[in-house]
């Protein structure tokens, strides 16, 4: 039987959050790209929480947008509520989160994909990767689908998410399907194993969805969006996102909920061992929470709309895999859910993914040239974590074909750099979720300055326009000029100034000061001081924000920049890729094994591998010196 045979530059397996970004990046860089999914109706599906962003995840979306990715623009067009989290805290942890209309999100991303030149969207299950031997390694040459069709190509990006050998479980119910009852992908894992890829089995879970007509909101706390919405994308006109928003609701579990859960743990597949996969510590199921925090009287439950088109409500904070009857019993103990009707039961999903230490920091497999991967398949969890990896994998697949240096962001440049470095250098035995505490230099990696940190890199890649590039050049200069002006602008303690300071409960001036000094006062801001600073230039909101933060946190920023200088020194000490560490005398055995396993790019990365001690690093540096002197 003749089989279809086609030729592309780049194949992307997956149309989830990772696959979409990978395919768009590759196609927008001019490469003929085909993207596969088991169902084109599930493009950019949100199988779990109906929101984009949140603590540290908002940073990832902003960074992706600054580099030329798509997620930020799509959510700005499809959000139904938006909130800046942690506004009462410092700017390093301010983080945007927007509730999405899930179907609108899928539709909008599909519209973008289907109207992108050089991009073909194809519904088919990829069952095999096709490779050829090149010495000790292999090289990708194509993929094969369930129908036997082959697609020749020069690079592949795997972004299969939670679909590989997926199994959905709650109570005794176990279905070999992907999320939302979609078809699982059941052949590719074997092909990957044949090509020497080491696989893991992970799991994650989701709560039930309820019919909003069966919920009594009078027993819950209404959660509103922000008055003034801040867009995710730096290229979205802020005025275009000021619109009517829906509410979310907050309620709590109670002792009765916890009793029901404790009484049925023996029927939980999580505790009976029916679930083999390893779940995310930072996204625990409700039964996990009740067992791990027995003294906690109540757990938050966020009731969130899935969209404007439906009555389906997401019961956030109560993901579970307990049997259906127990689900009804436990949800109905929660204030407001006494008569709840479940539209979709809560469930856990197990799936195959990889051990990401098999990847270089470019997200290319060390042993299969031209094979890249991103998203949940790499052992992370979350739409945002997936999207940024998909983007980087797509960009680096394209740059490989362009014969250009790969793009690797380090830990001082972006949360994306922290995420990928953690994945490829640390032992990740559970789904990896981003958190602000993972980023050493988080005061520099704020969500508000992602454009200043990454726009130029996006421009160099070729995914940021000339206009956006010129704007960032102008913005940098405008911030610098305004800070310099304020540091020179002096004012005296005249009546008007003292009255102003009194009004703001700020210490009166005993002698002259500069506006810059006043901006540094916690009770004052750059915006407030406009009153005393008549000839100030009319600067856009985003520039004003940077001026305010750069002045207010000048000392902390300076200290963190010094730490980054130290960090960069170690990152710049390159290590040969094919070096055999067993040749370095007095390196401890464990360090030799780990270094040969991970093949770190530089001394900095070597120092972050668990099992490699500071003493080993000194031995290595002395060795490099000696080799260098020969
Ligand atoms: C039940 C459930 C609960 C979750 N809970 C959480 C949570 O609590 N917190 C959290 O942060 N994240 C959670 N997630 C994870 C979140 O959904 C994912 O992180 C995110 O969707 C990953 O994006 P991705 O692009 O890597 O993969 P996915 O969104 O899973 O997309 C994978 C894509 O690959 C395609 N595909 C797979 N295999 C093949 C093949 N062989 N051939 C062709 N196409 C293929 C699929 O059709 C799909 O388009 C949950 C996911 C599920 C399913």
Q: What pLDDT shows up at residue 629?
A: 67
Give Cβ neighbours of residue 172 (< 8 Å, ≥ 6 apart). Answer: 267, 269, 323
Q: Is residue 240 within 8 Å of 164, Cβ to Cβ?
A: no
Quote the CA–CA distance of 467 and 408 in Å, as a whole number: 24
Average pLDDT in the 11-31 region?
98
Rounded to the nearest whole angstrom, what is the distance from the C-alpha of residue 75 to the centroid of ligand 1? 18
Mutate to test the pocket of ligand 1, among 39, 47, 279, 378 (most ligand atoms within 8 A of CB): 47
Lowest mean per-residue pLDDT among 34-48, 158-172, 602-616: 602-616
Quote the CA–CA distance of 192 and 105 in Å, as a whole number: 31
Q: Tell me how many degrees the CA angle 521-88-419 measures, rounded to the nearest 5.
A: 110
Rounded to the nearest whole angstrom, what is the distance from the C-alpha of residue 131 to the centroid of ligand 1? 25
Domain boundaries, the chain: 5-203+351-461, 209-350, 479-559, 573-629
Give Cβ neighbours of residue 6 (< 8 Å, ≥ 6 apart). Answer: 34, 149, 150, 151, 152
Q: Please check the confidence at residue 630 and state whether its pLDDT lies above 80.
A: no
Is domain 573-629 given the CATH code 1.10.287.130 in the classification? Answer: no
Mutate to test the pocket of ligand 1, among 40, 57, 106, 162 (most ligand atoms within 8 A of CB): 162
CATH code for the structural domain at 479-559: 1.10.10.1800
Q: What pLDDT shows up at residue 136?
A: 87
Ligand 1, atom nearest to 179 Cα:
53
- DSSP character at residue 380: B
- Nearest-CA residue for ligand 1 atom 44 is 37
- Nearest-CA residue for ligand 1 atom 33 is 14
pLDDT digits (tens, 9 = 90+) for 90-145: 999 999 999 999 999 999 999 999 999 999 999 999 999 999 999 989 999 999 99
Is domain 209-350 given the CATH code 2.40.30.260 in the classification? Answer: yes
Residues near ligand 1 with C-beta < 6 Å?
A: 13-19, 36-39, 42, 45, 47-48, 125-126, 159-164, 179, 185, 188, 204-206, 283, 319, 349, 375-377, 381-383, 386, 433
DSSP string over 129-161? EEEEEETTEEEEEEEEETTS-EEE-SEEEE--T
Q: What pLDDT shows up at residue 29?
A: 98
The dihedral over CA atoms of 473, 474, 477, 482, expressed in degrees to the nearest 10, equals: -150
Average pLDDT in the 478-483 region?
98
Q: What pLDDT shows up at residue 283?
A: 84
Q: Please check the confidence at residue 342 and state whether its pLDDT lies above 80.
A: yes
pLDDT digits (tens, 9 = 90+) for 185-195: 999 999 999 99
Quickly state the pLDDT bin for 428 (edges 50, 70, 90).
Answer: confident
Q: What pLDDT shows up at residue 256?
A: 97
User: In 3-state terms, what secondary structure has residue 80?
Assistant: strand
Quickly state the pLDDT bin for 526 (edges 50, 70, 90).
Answer: very high
Work out the angle between the directed axes of helices 450-461 and 466-488 (0-180°, nearest 10): 150
pTM exceeds 0.75 for this model: yes
Count other C-beta atoms under 10 Å from residue 75's C-beta.
31
Rounded to the nearest whole angstrom, what is the distance from the C-alpha of residue 376 to the centroid of ligand 1? 6
Assign domain 5-203+351-461 one CATH number from 3.50.50.60, 3.30.300.30, 3.40.220.10, 1.25.40.10.
3.50.50.60
Rounded to the nearest whole angstrom, what is the distance from the C-alpha of residue 173 to the centroid of ligand 1? 21
- Nearest-CA residue for ligand 1 atom 41 is 126
Lowest mean per-residue pLDDT among 505-519, 546-560, 578-592: 578-592
Q: What pLDDT shows up at residue 449?
A: 98
Q: Please check the confidence at residue 458 and state whether its pLDDT lies above 90.
A: yes
Q: What pLDDT shows up at residue 35?
A: 98
Q: What pLDDT shows up at residue 1?
A: 59
Ligand 1, atom nearest to 319 Cα:
8
Give Cβ neighbours of residue 134 (< 8 Å, ≥ 6 apart). Answer: 369
Picking from 226, 55, 87, the residue whose alpha carbon sits closest to that of residue 545 is 87
- Nearest-CA residue for ligand 1 atom 38 is 160
Q: Please check the confidence at residue 289 and state whether its pLDDT lies above 90.
A: yes
Rounded to the nearest whole angstrom, what is the distance from the C-alpha of residue 325 to the centroid of ligand 1? 27
Mutate to test the pocket of ligand 1, among 39, 46, 48 (most ligand atoms within 8 A of CB): 48
Quote the CA–CA distance of 423 and 418 in Å, as a whole number: 9
Ligand 1, atom nearest to 45 Cα:
29
Mutate to test the pocket of ligand 1, among 11, 12, 13, 16 (most ligand atoms within 8 A of CB): 16
Q: Tell me how many degrees the CA angle 99-321-219 measures, rounded to the nearest 5.
A: 50
């Amino acid at each position: 039987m003749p089989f279809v045979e086609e030729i592309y530059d780049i194949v992307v397996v997956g149309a989830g959050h990772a696959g979409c970004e990978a395919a768009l990046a590759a196609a927008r860089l001019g490469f003929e790209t085909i993207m596969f999914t088991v169902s084109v109706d599930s493009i950019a599906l949100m199988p779990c929480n109906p929101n984009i962003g949140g603590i540290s995840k908002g940073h990832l979306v902003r960074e992706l947008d600054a580099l030329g990715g798509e997620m930020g623009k799509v959510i700005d067009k499809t959000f139904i509520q938006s909130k800046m989290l942690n506004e009462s805290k410092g700017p390093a942890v301010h983080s945007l989160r927007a509730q999405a209309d899930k179907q609108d999100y899928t539709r909008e991303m599909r519209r973008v994909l289907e109207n992108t030149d050089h991009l073909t969207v194809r519904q088919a299950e990829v069952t095999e990767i096709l490779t050829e031997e090149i010495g000790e390694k292999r090289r990708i040459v194509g993929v094969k689908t369930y129908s036997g069709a082959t697609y020749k190509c020069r690079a592949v990006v795997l972004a299969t998410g939670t679909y590989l050998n997926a199994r959905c479980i709650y109570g005794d119910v176990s279905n070999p399907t992907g999320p939302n009852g979609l078809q699982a992908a059941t052949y590719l894992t074997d092909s990957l194993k044949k090509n020497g890829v080491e696989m893991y089995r992970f799991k994650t879970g989701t709560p039930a969805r309820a019919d909003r007509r069966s919920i009594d909101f009078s027993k819950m706390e209404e959660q509103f969006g922000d008055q003034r919405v801040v867009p995710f994308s730096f290229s979205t006109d802020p005025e275009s996102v000021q619109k009517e928003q829906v509410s979310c609701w907050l309620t709590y579990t109670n002792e009765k909920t916890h009793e029901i859960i404790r009484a049925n743990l023996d029927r939980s597949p999580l505790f009976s061992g029916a679930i083999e996969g390893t779940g995310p510590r930072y996204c625990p199921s409700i039964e996990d929470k009740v067992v791990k925090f027995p003294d906690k009287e109540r757990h938050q439950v966020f009731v969130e709309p899935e969209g404007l088109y439906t009555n389906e409500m997401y019961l956030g904070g109560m993901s579970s895999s307990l049997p259906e009857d127990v689900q009804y019993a436990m949800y109905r103990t929660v204030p407001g859910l006494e008569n709840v009707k479940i539209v979709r039961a809560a469930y856990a999903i197990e799936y195959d993914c990889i051990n990401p230490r098999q990847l270089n920091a470019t997200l290319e497999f060390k042993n299969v040239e031209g094979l890249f991967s991103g998203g949940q398949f790499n052992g992370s969890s979350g739409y945002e974590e997936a999207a940024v990896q998909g983007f980087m994998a797509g960009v680096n697949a394209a740059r490989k074909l362009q014969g250009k240096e790969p793009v690797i962001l380090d830990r001082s440049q972006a949360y994306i750099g922290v995420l990928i470095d953690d994945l490829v250098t640390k032992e990740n035995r559970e789904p990896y979720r981003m958190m602000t505490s993972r980023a050493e230099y988080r005061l520099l990696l704020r969500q508000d300055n992602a454009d200043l940190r990454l726009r130029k890199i996006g421009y160099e890649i070729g995914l940021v326009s000339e206009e956006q590039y010129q704007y960032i050049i102008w913005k940098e200069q405008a911030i610098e000029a305004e800070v310099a002006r304020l540091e020179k602008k002096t004012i005296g303690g005249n009546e008007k100034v003292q009255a102003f300071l009194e009004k703001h409960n700020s210490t009166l001036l005993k002698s002259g000061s500069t506006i810059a000094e006043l901006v540094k006062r916690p009770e004052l801001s750059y915006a407030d001081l406009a009153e005393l600073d008549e000839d100030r230039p009319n600067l856009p909101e985003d520039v004003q924000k940077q001026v305010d933060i750069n002045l207010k946190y000048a000392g902390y920023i300076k200290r963190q920049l010094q730490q980054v200088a130290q960090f960069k020194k170690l990152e710049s000490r390159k290590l040969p890729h094919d070096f055999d560490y067993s040749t370095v005398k007095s390196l401890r055995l464990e360090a030799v094994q780990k270094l040969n396993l991970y093949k770190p790019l530089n001394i900095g990365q070597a120092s972050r591998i668990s099992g490699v001690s500071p003493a080993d690093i000194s031995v290595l540096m002395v060795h490099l010196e000696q080799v260098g002197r020969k």
